Structure 1
Amino acid sequence: MLESEVLDIISSEIRNGKKAAMAVITHVSGSSPRKEGSVMAVMEGGKTAGTVGGGALENEVTRKALECIKAGENVSLSLELNDEGDLHMKCGGRAQVFIKIFIPTKKLIIAGGGHVGQKVHEFGKAMGFHTVVLDDREEYCSRELFPGADELIPGDIYENMKAYNIGETCHIVIVTRGHSYDEQALEAGIGRGAAYIGMIGSKAKTQAVYENLLQKGVSKEELANVYAPIGIDMGGGTPHEIALGILAEITVVTNGARPVHMRDKKGRIVLE
């Protein structure tokens, strides 16, 4: 398999929201089953593409690569390819292997292209998110309103959300123009492993949406993971302030933190 094909496979995994690793033989001395520069991709489930030599060497590299994927860390290995080493190989040489981890870019999926959605997108781009905008109205899912969007998906919100590949790197913000569309987006996105899912609206509207989804078979446990009404109360009601509260909540949730004033966390300055 060509190196370019290995890289294409890794790129495909990342696009699909999955982690992957690339193992590269950086140096060999003595006899080795593969030369320097040999590459192999390792996917989360243990599937591989390419080769670094097969047999015990490749099994060990695959095992270490899966550990690295889980830990999210790169590593350099020095492996003895002889009877005295842990691999008990007959080659008699030594191989150094570098394992590089590839982590998918965090995604911000915005259902609703109105004023709040536009500001959520603006702040999300500034924070490094890969942004995805869904709206059933083409004029609210356009380059004019979202010039920096990575993906614009006009059309039926339910169908497009359902078809989108949602995973642990995805953060779903539901801010459509009406509760029926919010409900559709939530139904399509809930329970699919997103890191965060939140929906705008009053407590009464949220209650009504939840009751409808319970009747459709959505579990209470799944609904308990939804942040609705969405956002942290910033004390204001403009689209900017609402969007800022939404991104603040996403940050707090994904970091496993609680919002606190730094002056209270670090201790207030006492003036004599």
Structure 2
Amino acid sequence: MIPPPGPDRRKQVFHRRFTRDDALKHLSPSVDLVLDLAPALCDLLDRGHRVAVATLVAVDGSAPRALGAAMALTGDGQVLGSISGGCVESELVEAARAVLAGGPARVRQFGAGDLVEPGLTCGGTITVLVSDLSSLGEEGLHQLRRSAAGLDAVLPLAADGSSCTDEPLVVLRTARRPELVVVGAVEFGVALCRLGAASGFRVTVVDPREVFATKERFPDAHAVVVDWPGRWFAARAWSADDAVCVLSHDPKVDLPSLEHALRSPAGFVGAMGSRRTHENRVAGLRERGVTDDELSRLRSPIGLDLGASTPEQTAVSILAEILTVRNGRSGRPLSQLSTRIH
């Protein structure tokens, strides 16, 4: 029989209500975070919902999610997002309910749990701010909407959930959202658009064919552009965080798009097609004056070797390669590595 936890148990339980002074001693006031759930939170506000938000504001050691992860509870009981992948969510829902019922914001810390108290199984400690979203105030909500739109945003948070500039509990920051440009309004593009948007990219679909390039086909896209990609690319400003995926299989579309993309600062440029298509494409790009150094940036055939065949599986393969390149990782199974996961 497993004995009940006693006073000398070695596994310490972290699960208590913090005061504001406690929080200021344990948290850095200048942590760079992502404002998780910002688009969904703004949508809920626009539809008149009251919302309590639990935001992960500090991590010590290993934790399931990164700083800035958030979970929201609406007045009608709808739950969005997560903080720990299931370890402490039930406790945070109760804290959020108390806030929505008129209680004060609260800062909670969770570490290793036991048979009685909720806690993390991965050995780390997390600190979570639970507050009413309306406490942000006008400037705080403005910054939240900037984040939702994929723009730079800075939100200093006090322990009561308000936006403040004097001794903030933590500073939430978000940078311009990276762009994923999908060239070709094809079924593979539909799947990649959906997956890319869900992964935090601001997705733009470009295709000269008006009948295919529609918002109805690409509801997850930030923008659907009906234009020749070469002309559209020439007027764009690019960032090293951006990715370009050419999926059209039409040299009139492929070659101008790739020529501009390979000469831009975009950090990832890939194209779909067979190896023979790739060879023909490279020859065409050389005829257009693209250099060997520029061609060395082209990832084609695009995607990791996952055995993908359907549009959805292929989208996973493509996005996996994009993330591998952006994050400078190996793409190998985590079970074969001894390095940190997060």
Q: TM-score, normalised by structure 1?
A: 0.60
Give 1:232's match in structure 2, choosing from 304, 320, 323.
Answer: 304
Contact 1:112–1:176 (Cα < 8 Å) also in 2: yes
Q: Which residue of 1 aligns with 2:268?
A: 196
Provide the rounded CA distance (Å) in 1 between the counterparts of 2:335 and 2:184: 36
Contact 2:249–2:272 (Cα < 8 Å) also in 1: no
SS in 1 for 2:245: strand
1:58-104 per-position Cα deviation (integer Å, ceiling 9, x unaligned): xxxxxxxxxxxxxxxxxx9xxxxxxxxxxxxxxxxxxx9x9986521
SS in 1 for 2:299: coil
Contact 2:228–2:253 (Cα < 8 Å) also in 1: no
SS in 1 for 2:337: helix
Distance of aligned partners of 1:118 and 1:208 in 2 relative to their CA distance in 1, 3 Å threshold:
same
What is the CA-CA distance between 1:262 and the residue it aligns to?
Answer: 2.4
In structure 2, runs of 5+ residues without a counterpart are 1-138, 157-163
Matched, 1:130 2:220: no
Provide the rounded CA distance (Å) in 2 between the counterparts of 1:209 and 1:163: 23
SS in 1 for 2:203: strand
1:131-159 per-position Cα deviation (integer Å, ceiling 9, x unaligned): 11101111221111111211111121211
Distance of aligned partners of 1:99 and 1:242 in 2 relative to their CA distance in 1, 3 Å threshold:
closer
What is the CA-CA distance between 1:21 and the residue it aligns to?
Answer: 8.9
Query: Counterparts in 2 of 1:177-256, with a 5 A limit?
Result: 177-256=249-328
Query: Counterparts in 2 of 1:18-97, with a 5 A limit?
Result: none
Distance of aligned partners of 1:148 and 1:213 in 2 relative to their CA distance in 1, 3 Å threshold:
same
Provide the rounded CA distance (Å) in 2 between the counterparts of 1:131 and 1:211: 29
Higher share in helix: 1
Contact 1:179–1:209 (Cα < 8 Å) also in 2: yes
Q: TM-score, normalised by structure 2?
A: 0.49
Tell me which amino acid in the other structure corresponds to 2:331: P
Provide the rounded CA distance (Å) in 1 between the counterparts of 2:174 and 2:314: 33
SS in 2 for 1:138: coil
Provide the rounded CA distance (Å) in 2 between the counterparts of 1:236 and 1:150: 26
